[in-house]
Structure 1
Amino acid sequence: MFNRHKKFLTTLLLLFSIFLFWRAPTTTHAAVKASKLPNRQGILIDLGRHPLTEKSVKSVIQAARDQKLNYVVLHLSDNEHLSFQSTYLGNKAGKKVLSKAALKRLVTFAKKKHIQLVPDVDAPSHTGAILHQLKKKRPKTYKQVKMDSHTLDYTKKQSITVVQKIYGELDTIFKKQSSRDFIIGADEVPGNPEAYKSLTTFINQLNRFQNKRGFTTTIWNDSILKSELPRIDKNIVINYWSQAGNRSDKKTLTNRRTHRVSVKNLVNAKRRVVNANSYATYYQLKHIGNKTNDNYFINYLRNHYKPTMFNEITSKNKNSHRIMQPKVKTRGTLVSLWGHNSSHISTKAIVKFIHRIKIPK
């Protein structure tokens, strides 16, 4: 009798161990195809601050195709505006809010043009519009997940649930592509090094959720601490825009150089990097039409920028957009067109500007 019970308990423990093994989180996701973005040239259009109609987005996609770009990032929300319809958030489609049907048509249109469409819904920061909608539709949840007016509380499990609900809806729309990427943001996140441990957990949970749904995820570099880099899932792609995060005072730059990852850190850790240099590849839509500004950006990108030229902090703690990192093996570049205060800029002007863009490979 004793031996029979012992054998039963041993078998039960073995089965439980196997269950835990398969449930354990892993940083390798063989079912997900490696992202091609680190070796491609793309353009980001900011619909969170400069909403566009379906027809206008098609014009942007066509312009990207004309310039032989490989992908278009749709920055679908920010603090100012939610530009896509969500069942969970309860907002309605309209001229400035793309319906699910419209997004599906855009995916189909892009595929015909051999352009990958990449959804970009930042979290936990840049979520002001999401929080605004939660407050109206799900006030109880809003109180649980709000850190401040622009940030989800990344230390709360409920925040993960909220983001997964939103991403899940978009995944269904954008999955019908041969390459599937999703930018989850993680940039400009408030908090101290201790809190950033929770940020790493937040990022990894979203990454693994998206991996299971067939997507590779991308985050921006500026909220990655050197101490946290080993914990961040290795299959996440890094959009590198700035180590300084657009800060200028020497004390802050000294601190950021000490604690925030550099391109060299990422290279040594064998991370895949897309160059999104905040000087050479960032442009504000509101400047389009200013001949001096337009020409400077276009000519600098065409004649001076290189995919191995990054925006980092120098050894003298100064911000520089011309630090060369020749050991970076990937050659991907993302040009970002941000939409602050740009409502006066027409789609025609944006398309004309894109037709002037040439990204060195």
Structure 2
Amino acid sequence: MPRAALVGGGVVAAGAVALTIGLWPAGPGGAGHGEGGREDSKSPTAAATDPHQKDRSKPTSSPTYALSKPPSTIPAVREHTPARGPGWRPEDEARVVVGDPGLRDEAELLARELRLRYGGEARPRSGDVQLDLTGDRAADRTGSTTGGPETGADTDASRAGDGARIGPATGDAGTAREGGGAQPGPGTGSPGAGAETGKGTGTAREGGGAQPGPVTGGPGTATGTGPATGDTGRSRTAGSGAQSGPATGDAGPGAGRAGSGARAARGPGEGPEAYTLVVKDRVVRITAPTQAGVFHGTRTLKQSVRADGAVPEGVVRDAPAKPRRGFMLDMARKHFSADWIERRIEELGDLKYNELGLHFSDDQAFRIASESHPEVVSADHLTKAQVRRIVDLAASRHITVVPEIDSPGHLGAVLKAHPDLRLRDTRGAVTQGAVDIGNPKAARIVDELLREYAELFPGGRWHIGADEYQALVVRDPEASYPRLAAAARDRLGPAATIQDLATRWLNDRARVIGPARDVRAWNDGFFRGGTVAADADLEVAYWTGKEIGARDPVEYLREGRDVLNYNDEFLYYVLGEPNDFTYPTGRRIYEQWTPRVLRGTTPVPAAYDGRILGGSFAVWCDLAGAQTQDQVARGIRMPLRATAQKLWDAREPSRSWADFERLAGRLDG
């Protein structure tokens, strides 16, 4: 794909060239490498404005600035409208001010990171950063603080925290265009209004459409956006009633459950996580319809300062292609400290992830303290106080923690304390990790645990597992487990099978979690046919197609189900590399994977793109001793960054992998 580059002050994209002739200064506000985007002091223009020059008879002139480049960030911004100006860099007396008091947390965090002052609700003055919400809340406020820069004393400001100011890092300057796609056009309009602004832990409306629609207009006025096709998914409020019962028939790619509806195509400045960042007159203004959007804008600002020491002049309009952008950690097989998890949350927040999955129960261990069943908890575990701190830190970064208690398989740690609930085959042999779903006591214990942890994890999403139930991985389940087959017929009718009993278990556990949450399960917990169908609103976490009776991802999409991409070919970091797994590389994800590549290496048709809510990079600890915590952190560093880029914008990146890797080094250095 042709790559855009600035040439003589214009933009080159898809063979189109626009040129502006003139003197180009250096610096982050323009295309050079000097201080503040101004002309070099030795240039004729600068000499003419220098009061110390001997010849003062010549007329003076203002500094000339080159057209700016997009900010250097991971993930790359999807649209940047360049401008001429000095850009913005942190200064000693600069403040972070807010137009809405609900943005205080975001403002104070940014102020600490850049060693600025938090100025509260105030109009911005030269050198300041302003955060504000768009939409009804902003329009209804009296005494608006969204006017032009103010002058005068700082009457309500305090230095926000210590720590070294984020300064420039050296290295590759990157490319001129940050997004992917075709020829850029001007980005117009402001972020949509009306989305919920509550921060919380994920119960507010999510969404944020998928691929952007085309951006039209004159040539050379914006960088980074291009057309994309396909349905952009749906936005729903966690708290709407969940429809139960099977989805029947071929619903087609645009079908959905009751009340969902297809999302309209959204550009990079639209959706609840969208934001606009304007740099003009030495002031940065970040606005968005939600606090999450404002937070994402502050990450762009922080990264740009980190990479280049400043933020370029111009306008960024940005939003994620996918509303779910996750990292999942298997903390059951391997104990991870609370400090390690908290460091990952800070890393994820800067990369604009919005989910952290915690798989804390499996055959090997149960890793979170329990009052309802303390007998199942392993020696090395997190206390509930530690988990609450993790959840609170994640919420401050607009990340929802998605807990997982996997059942009816992978329950070995629970069954160790309750051996009477173990599943046995026709010979009486114990089936590893599998609970006897024909025993009512098994459901009671699992449900008590689910209810207990529902209070600890108040976010709007849950994972209930359902993969690799060993009674269903044999060729003839009914012959191998006749007692389970009899229980299925007794409860569900003479035609019912063990598959139907497992599906009823899945539905029952999802209903315990409640209709106010989005519930997902692994794809091998959904079956073809049968007398009982999985509830229509259950989301499919697609990870593999290697199981007996494996279903193609399109089958789930055709049913109208929403799917999350956990493709084990690209997104599984399995410690010790057992069973033909190899550690994934960031480069392979960056160059070959997109959210539509759900299984293997082949993407599903573009018509189904809107049903793919996003994806998650996963760490599994099958051989827990193969790596230390620090080795895991180092091993996933570039894969996490590559995944963040492709979930934010699935198009072909404008940066080469080498440039992307160098930028990551500058941002982390």
Q: TM-score, normalised to structure 2's length?
A: 0.41
TM-superposed CA distance for 1:82, in Å, is 1.0
2:449 alignment partner in structure 1: 166
- Counterpart of 2:602, as a letter, is R
- Report how far residue 46 of structure 1 moved: 0.7
Count of paired positions: 297
2:324, 2:613 within 8 Å by CA — same for their partners in 1?
yes
Instruction: Give the one of 299, 323, 333 matched to 2:615.
Output: 333
**Given the alignment, which residue of 583, 597, 614 partners 1:309?**
597
- Kindly indicate whether the alpha-carbon contact (under 8 Å) linking 1:309 and 1:323 is maintained by their aligned counterparts in 2: yes
Listed as ranges, the gaps of 5+ residues in structure 2 are 1-241, 246-256, 260-272, 274-321, 425-430, 479-496, 648-669
- Alpha-carbon distance, 1:302 to partner: 1.2
Equivalence for 1:154: 437
Q: CA deviation at 1:337?
A: 0.8
1:264 to 554, 568, 592: 554
Displacement of 1:343 in angstroms is 2.6
Verify: 1:236 aligned to 2:538, yes or no.
Answer: yes
Map of 1:173-322 to 2, 5 A cutoff?
173-175=456-458, 177=459, 180-189=460-469, 190-191=471-472, 192=477, 194-212=497-515, 214-228=516-530, 231-245=533-547, 256=549, 260-286=550-576, 297-311=585-599, 320-322=600-602
The CA deviation at 1:222 is: 1.4
Cα deviation, 1:268-302, whole Å, max 9, x if unaligned, reads 21000001111111111346xxxxx65x5221111
1:77 has 2:361 as partner? yes
Tell me which residue corresponds to 1:315: none
Matched, 1:90 2:374: yes
Change (3 A) 1:153 1:95: closer
Q: What is the one-letter code of the residue matched to 1:242?
A: T
Give the whole-Å Cα distance in 1 for the aligned partners of 2:601 and 2:532: 26
Quote the Cα distance in structure 1 between the aligned partners of 2:406 and 2:544: 17
Give how far 1:111 is off.
0.6
Higher relative contact order (CA 8 A, sep 6+): 1
- 1:183 deviation in Å? 0.7
User: Identity of counterpart residues, as a percentage?
Assistant: 20
Task: State the 1:168 CA deviation.
Answer: 0.9
What's the RMSD between the two structures over aligned residues? 2.9
For 2:244 and 2:631, how far apart are their aligned partners in 1?
Answer: 43
CA 1:92/1:195 → structure 2, altered by over 3 Å: closer, same or farther? closer
Number of the residue aligned with 1:122: 406
Larger radius of gyration: 2
Alignment match, 1:27: 244
User: How far 1:146 sits from its partner (Å)?
Assistant: 4.1
- Counterparts of 2:507 and 2:535 in 1: how far apart (Å)? 6
Paired AA for residue 512 in structure 2? F
1:229 and 1:108 mapped to 2: Cα distance? 43
1:242, distance to aligned residue in structure 2 (A)? 1.3
Q: Secondary structure of 2:329's partner? A: strand
Work out the CA distance in 1 between the residues paired with 2:377 and 2:333. Answer: 17
Instruction: State the SS of the aligned residue for 2:394.
Output: helix
The structure 1 residue matched to 2:420, chosen from 143, 147, 150, is 143
Per-residue deviation, 1:161: 1.1
In 1, Cα distance between equivalents of 2:377 and 2:448:
18
Q: Distance in 2 between matches of 1:303 and 1:58?
A: 29
8 A contact 1:222–1:244 mirrored in 2: no
In 1: Cα distance, 2:545 partner to 2:626 partner: 32
The more displaced of 201-210 and 336-345 is 336-345
Equivalence for 2:348: 64
TM-score normalised over the length of structure 1: 0.74
SS across alignment from 2:624: coil
| Cα separation, 1, equivalents of 2:555 and 2:329 | 29
Residues 88, 166 of structure 1: 8 Å contact kept: yes
Distance 1:222 1:108 in 2: 32
List runs of 5+ in structure 1 lacking aligned partners.
Answer: 1-24, 136-141, 246-251, 288-292, 312-319
